[in-house]
Amino acid sequence: MALKKYNTTVTEFILLGFSQSAKIQSILFFIFLTMYIITWLGNLTIIITVIYTRHLHTPMYFFLSNLAVIDISDCTVTALKMLWDLISHTNSISYNWCITQMFFFHCTGGAVVFFLVVMAVDRYIAIYKPLQYLLIMNQGACIGLVIGAWLGGFAHSIVQVALILQLPFCGPNILDNFYCDVPQVIKLACTDTYITEILMVCNSGLLLTLIFFILLVSYTMILVKIRMHVTEGKHKALSTCSAQVIVMSLHFVPAMFIYDRPFRVSPVDKITSVLYTAITPVLNPIIFTLRNTEMKNSIRKLVGNNTLFKIMQSK
């Protein structure tokens, strides 16, 4: 079904991408394809390891495996179109596909943000209420939090897309990026967008900043509690929380740079976009596995008896 357009005559957008040189585009294709494959393998390894390792069937690893699913989904939204443009040397995207890409990009990106909040809540309860932890974080609560994170991302994305759909596009159609996103698209509207920009900054940038600082305070409290009161499993708790803080920073800091200001397009924006759409999903599974002895041992065990290889091969 075609998306409703208000006084819009533009039927497609031109994505400038990274370079107009066919040779550079081919090189970039293999670089980003390698990163995309690593993202899939790394996150799929986490998912399979959690599913097939009984002692990892805990709320923390349940959330970690679901975050891996979101990371795969998040990078796929931009990676497939980017890879196709690089290998085919095309650079256009229809209006409807542009809107669709923005919807899924903000839906998965919003879900990641809310998921990081869920993981922080999980660690807070585990450290501050260890005796009631499994009672509070029961299966129903965990599933409910996962659904809530996705619904939060969906609601955030619907607001973004609804505001974009109200804008008329009748002039320039060139986007200085490798995918469709709000800051670039909104600047092409042939009307005054000041109020719309403010609404979108509140819905994205300010919300990100508020959540980020709340999470920083929460993790500070958790780390202080671990250092002062936790004796058993202190190293594991510190490693887990520090890994989550690193991943949280990799997601929030670049996103705040892009969305936490009235939309002014800058050459740095494209580099920042690469960081949180392509590089961060690659780093997430590496960070979580390298800093988690239990996860590393479980992966080694599956690889050692070829279980992981057989599972991936069968898929």
pLDDT confidence of residue 232:
62
One-letter amino acid for residue 12 of the chain: E
Q: Is residue 216 over pLDDT 60?
A: yes
Strand positions, DSSP E, 9-160: 12-15, 92-94
Q: Across the beta sheet with 174-175, what order do the strands follow?
A: 92-94, 12-15, 174-175
Q: Is residue 203 over pLDDT 90?
A: no
Smallest Cα–Cα separation from 37: which of 27, 48, 45, 49?
Answer: 45
Given the structure tokens 């719309």, which residue do they identify? 196
Q: Please, what sign has the CA dihedral across residues 80, 84, 90, 93?
A: negative
What's the whole-number average pLDDT of the chain? 86
Instruction: Give residue 1's pLDDT band: very low, low, confident or very high (50, 70, 90).
Output: very low
Smallest Cα–Cα separation from 66: which of 313, 288, 315, 297?
Answer: 288
Tokens of residue 150, six digits: 């996705």
Tokens of residue 307, six digits: 């279980």
Question: What residues have CB less than 8 Å from 89, skipping those under 6 apart?
Answer: 22, 25
Instruction: Give residue 30's pLDDT band: very low, low, confident or very high (50, 70, 90).
Output: very high
Number of H helices, E strands in the chain: 13, 3
Tokens of residue 69, six digits: 């699913």
Contact status, residue 298 vs residue 53, Cβ threshold 8 Å:
yes
How far, in Å, CA of 218 to CA of 124, rounded?
A: 7
The pLDDT tens digits for 125-135 are: 988 888 899 99
Contact status, residue 127 vs residue 236, Cβ threshold 8 Å:
no
Q: How would CATH label the architecture of 12-314?
A: Up-down Bundle (1.20)
pLDDT top residue among 167 and 288: 167
Q: Is residue 238 over pLDDT 90?
A: no
Distances (CA, A) of 268 to 43, 185, 271, 273, 279: 28, 17, 5, 9, 15
Q: Is residue 12 over pLDDT 60?
A: yes
One-letter amino acid for residue 132 of the chain: Q
Smallest Cα–Cα separation from 254: which of 218, 278, 290, 234?
Answer: 278
- pTM for this one? 0.88
Tokens of residue 186, six digits: 């909104």
175: part of which helix (H) or strand (E)?
strand 174-175
Tokens of residue 289, six digits: 């596995």
Instruction: Give residue 269's pLDDT band: very low, low, confident or very high (50, 70, 90).
Output: confident
Contact status, residue 183 vs residue 177, Cβ threshold 8 Å:
no
The pLDDT tens digits for 149-172 are: 999 999 999 999 998 998 999 878
Tokens of residue 92, six digits: 């256009």
Domain residue ranges of the chain, discontinuous segments joined by +: 12-314
